[in-house]
Structure 1
Amino acid sequence: MASQLNPYLTFDGNAREAMEFYHAIFGGELKVNTFGEFGAPDPAIADKVMHAMLTTDRGYVLMASDTAPGMGTFTPGDTMTVSLSGDPGEGLEDVWEKLADGATVTLPFEKQMWGDLYGQLVDKYGVPWMVNVGATQ
């Protein structure tokens, strides 16, 4: 897979509903994973969306999640992040390092429970970023 740059939306508990709405508009394939599927111990969030991805026939990709525990409060207007994802060897680790210069790292770039390298930061210009490097198989 080539690296992708996509919008990533955050919702306050209604990510599934919103993504189903966008799916009805744009068509394509919608994949939804919950926090419970990845072993979240809190039953209050087990059915909440940890990650959803809509890939359309036109090549649009829209990703989303519900506000994750520990990620602060939901603030309307601050609900979009730039998501950069790809495979090992595509240089995304270097991109992370460059984006992190002068940034506020909100989640360190490290191996996550789903197996990928992943981190979040707000760059020195105030733009929130997610960088995900897929696990090698």
Structure 2
Amino acid sequence: MASRLNPYISFAGSARQALDFYREVFGGSLEVNTYAQFGQAPPGFEDKVMHGMLETTAGFTLMASDTPPGMDHTPGNNISVSLSGDDETELRGYWTRLSERGTVSVPLEKQMWGDVFGMCTDEFGVTWMVNISGEPS
């Protein structure tokens, strides 16, 4: 297997809901393992996600977990997930679903560099950047 780089997002108890949402947006196969399944369940964390992985037919891999007790969970603006390509229909579909219950900070529209770009934060606090490539000049 080749090396790969993919986002791994930590949540404060909503990893399962977020992963289910991302599966609805992107499709694909989702595997979720709870703390109880690994025999490492802190009290009240039996059904929380120790590790979840979504793999899509488009080749995306997104991993997530619930932050266990004793570890800090500090959502912030130090990471964004970027979706880019030239399939306008596909990318606009992702944008619509990611932004519909979130907050749009940059509307999805043509930018000065010629591409269509937008940025939003979904309902789980994850920032997404969508870039649809313009026509080559």
Residues 46-93 of structure 1 show CA distances to partners (whole Å, capped at 9, x for unaligned) of: 110001000000000000000123322x21216859xxxxxxxxxxxx
Q: Contact 2:42–2:69 at 8 Å: present in 1 too? A: no
In structure 2, the residue matched to 1:62 is 62
Using structure 2 for the length normalisation, give the TM-score.
Answer: 0.53
Q: Contact 1:31–1:53 at 8 Å: present in 2 too? A: yes
Alignment of 1:1-137 (within 5 A): 1-72=1-72, 74-77=73-76
SS at match of 1:4: coil
Residues 77-114 of structure 1 show CA distances to partners (whole Å, capped at 9, x for unaligned) of: 16859xxxxxxxxxxxxxxxxxxxxxxxxxxxxxxxxx
Q: How many matched pairs?
A: 80
Runs of 4+ displaced beyond 3 Å: 78-81
Instruction: In structure 1, list runs of 5 or more residues that go unmatched.
Output: 82-137
Aligned partners of 1:15, 1:25: CA distance in 2, in Å?
A: 15
Aligned partners of 2:48, 2:5: CA distance in 1, in Å?
A: 24
1:20 Cα deviation (Å)?
Answer: 0.2
Aligned partners of 1:28, 1:62: CA distance in 2, in Å?
A: 11
Structure 1 residues 79 and 53, CA gap change in structure 2 (3 angstroms) = farther
Instruction: In structure 2, list runs of 5 or more residues that go unmatched.
Output: 81-137
Task: Give the structure with the higher percent strand.
Answer: 1
Rg comparison, structure with higher value: 2
Using structure 1 for the length normalisation, give the TM-score.
Answer: 0.53
Greater RCO, CA 8 A, separation 6+:
1
Q: Contact 1:9–1:80 at 8 Å: present in 2 too? A: no
RMSD: 2.0
Q: Contact 1:9–1:79 at 8 Å: present in 2 too? A: no
Aligned partners of 2:60, 2:31: CA distance in 1, in Å?
A: 14
AA partner of residue 44 (structure 1): G
SS at match of 2:5: strand
Structure 1 residues 11 and 41, CA gap change in structure 2 (3 angstroms) = closer
